[in-house]
Structure 1
């Protein structure tokens, strides 16, 4: 008997975690951090004993899929963590950075608690805890079947969402029956810069699929590339373009796009506009991208063959120290790319504080904003937001460019589903999406196939 329990990203977008139990094994697919309105769940105890988990499979490195791994190790996990080679390298830097954020958050919270006479709290985990995770990681190339034991084999296919992102195929022989479970992971938007498009699978008995954009369509990438017009228009009137961007993935795609058009001078002024990348993690991640050219698509490889550095150019400046970051507050007519992508932590909050109230500036969103996050509140039209306890007026122009998203839209999800060569034999579980998106995808899938689709509840357990 195989059981699956849905421990996150159910009728919501963050906290991806699936607990699977067979007659002989207990394992997880992903172990992500909750963000936005669900962030309070991160302090909850695991519903299993971490030392009982035999192994973990990771779809990709984003923190909403991996951010509780250090906590799991801290509480006694001793098994193997299987992921792709690029994901393994990204985890080394991302989980240390996440631990540092937990430490800084605890320091900030404890200052408030001290003033109220309350006892201090401990960080969820530390940078050192984040660094320990690498000792448990086993990296695997794409499309190489690993035999975890005599009853379970696993294959990672390219999901096209992030460097190293994967669709996971799991074959389980249990009680004399073979069942194939496929996790889509986060499927990528097609034709995004640098990395390849998603691959297809041949068959699944059970499919667990994301639905982030299950009720929306992206504009074409060409339409989204009015990015340059936005930059030119804003900077020409002395305003700043502030881009909250995920340090890993979206930032590198932005650099690629900006680099390409600076080189061919599509917009003459682009080579004169100073672009600042203010995210130490993004700089480290860019180095990982440069080491994993096996994940690059044809266009990126062609540029490399022409000796074009796809992730660096003359008017790009890396901001390393806090002091350098603070100096950006004095600048006008520049582009500032900073993390975190949902504006929940990091240096982006400082840049929003100094630019949101300026009528000549632009806040440009290029990634998904989860419910309850600061980014979502700004995007939904809030007139004022609180940043570091101070109320800030939102006077800047706020623009959303979903065409630059790393997630497949409704058409992309449907295209991937329809190209499962031999279909889904038993059932589809729709996760990793807000309620409207998940239910719309369910409706669409059931209209084009005979397979039953189900949207699980948080903590729900189902026998396969």
Structure 2
């Protein structure tokens, strides 16, 4: 077996592994690179293989950094099955369509500037129509459903606890009459997400490809995260300001809605009573679609969610924003409120408009609850910039900036080590999905609990195993 690391190697995003055996050629994930301009340019690179020669693909979960180049793959001739879980199929449907719309909109904006400058127009990475074409190849499976490809190879998807439908990929194969196993972790959850079940334990594997997004960090405020979030919202309210939460539309937004709902439901305090009166706006059409999917998918979620007799994603003070006109009206209304809007890293979507209209206000509170990639607008604000450029306008930052790490959907260092530790039989571990410091720190810590070869692949590295 040969593994080609074509994404998420030396990078956090762009997940894509090409696996080659004597019988099959297939991909694990086909995601977009996100972050720096240099990284995003990698999305436009020609695939290092002919998509027509692939037998199938396995998608670990729906997030765009794992699924976002599937429309390109299909456009270039791929026509096989894309195996994934049922929730991943539903979420990838809306995410890829939305991503296509964003690429079209951003390209239209860019081409207007290029036309004025006398430059040639550019094409979008892919369109909504391309996404619709690609979605038909998604082929859903249940967790732990064995897929026997032939007498010498099978695989299954097990719960990774990161996102609704997220999975680790377990591949069993026979090579030279010897049974082998390789596991791709996908993105792992941290066992503290109220919505998701814990990542499933893997008992043995010969080879492991494991993420390291937070491989050098600990989520210090997991137990107090909701209390901190509520305190910041109430502080903004007391100051007559707006609390703005840049949030990924799929997964994180639903988690925030539920945790606020759960706080109000389980606390008989003045804080909870006041929180129940503050208008909370979800301003993201994609988040509304995703919330509808979450509401219908409780069988894939935690026991806490299953125990709710009512919908866990409904609050009496929650307002769902659909139209552009409603979104614009939010920024003309200066009364205290909470705005939850996408994108999570502030580089696209309606959040940019809310930041443009509120960052310069001293009564505004910006609450970061997720990872901010290098060179994104969110990273610049989080790291203390005093001025940023949004929609071709320089905006001074006078708002209060907060960061709550406990809401991360990723496993931190301890969770990663706890997940790897029980795996017996490891001969080689590949550490991916991390910035340089995170991957190397995690590799060193892995070396303390596992006595096998541990490698950090670079982009386009290939290994025979």
1:373 aligns with 2:381: no
Q: Is residue 283 from structure 1 mapped to residue 279 from structure 2 by the alignment?
A: no
Paired residues, what number? Answer: 458
SS of residue matched to 2:331? helix
Residue number in structure 2 paired with 1:12 = 11
**Aligned pairs for 1:117-128 within 5 A:** 117-128=118-129
What residue is the counterpart of 1:269 in the other structure? 274
> What does residue 324 of structure 1 align with?
326
Aligned match of 1:180: 181
Q: Tell me if 1:412 matches 2:415.
A: yes
Q: How far off its partner does 1:220 sit?
A: 3.7
Deviations 1:350-374 (A, max 9, x none): 1111111111111111111111211
The structure 1 residue matched to 2:300, chosen from 295, 300, 316, is 295
Matches within 5 A, 1:217-232: 217-225=218-226, 226-232=228-234
Structure 1 contact 340–347 (Cα < 8 Å) conserved:
yes
CA distance in 2, matches of 1:389, 1:193: 39
Partners in 2 of 1:383 and 1:10 — Cα distance? 32
The aligned residue for residue 398 of structure 1 is 401
Once residues 114 and 152 of structure 1 are traced to their aligned partners in structure 2, the CA distance between those partners, rounded to angstroms, is 53
2-structure distance, mates of 1:109, 1:146: 45
Structure 1 partner of 2:165: 164
Residue in 2 that maps onto 1:432: 433
Aligned residue for 1:360, secondary structure, equals coil
Q: CA deviation at 1:108?
A: 0.6
Contact 1:83–1:140 at 8 Å: present in 2 too? yes
Q: In the aligned structure 1, how far is the partner of 2:318 from the partner of 2:235?
A: 19
Q: Within 5 A, what are the aligned runs for 1:16-415?
A: 16-37=15-36, 38-225=39-226, 226-264=228-266, 265-266=268-269, 267=271, 268-303=273-308, 307-331=309-333, 332-415=335-418
> In structure 1, how many angstroms separate the alpha carbons of the residues matched to 2:159 and 2:213?
18
8 Å CA contact retained: 1:237, 1:360: yes
Structure 1 residues 193-236: Cα deviation after superposition (integer angstroms, max 9, x where no partner): 21111111111111000000000000242221211011001112
- 2:281 & 2:51 partners in 1: Cα distance? 41
TM-score (norm 2): 0.97
1:113–1:120 Cα contact (<8 Å) kept: yes
Contact 2:5 2:17 in 1 (8 A): yes
SS of 2:261's partner is: helix
Partner Cα separation in structure 1 for residue 92 and residue 132 of structure 2: 9
Which ranges in structure 2 are unaligned for 5 or more consecutive residues?
none
Gaps of 5+ in 1: none
Worse-superposed segment, 282-291 or 258-267: 258-267
Instruction: Report the RMSD for the aligned CA atoms in angstroms.
Output: 1.1
Residue pair 1:22, 1:174 contacting (<8 A) in 2 also = no
**Distance in structure 2 (CA, Å) of the matches to 1:69 and 1:140:** 18
Q: Give 1:176 shift.
A: 3.5
SS where residue 163 of structure 1 aligns? coil
SS in structure 2 of the partner of residue 425 of structure 1: coil
Deviation at 1:174? 3.5
Give the Cα–Cα distance (whole angstroms) in 2 for the partners of residues 116 and 53 of structure 1.
41
Query: Mean alpha-carbon deviation: is it higher for 273-282 or for 255-264?
Result: 255-264
Q: CA deviation at 1:309?
A: 1.6
> How far apart are the structure 1 equivalents of 2:193 and 2:97?
28
TM-score normalized by the length of structure 1: 0.97
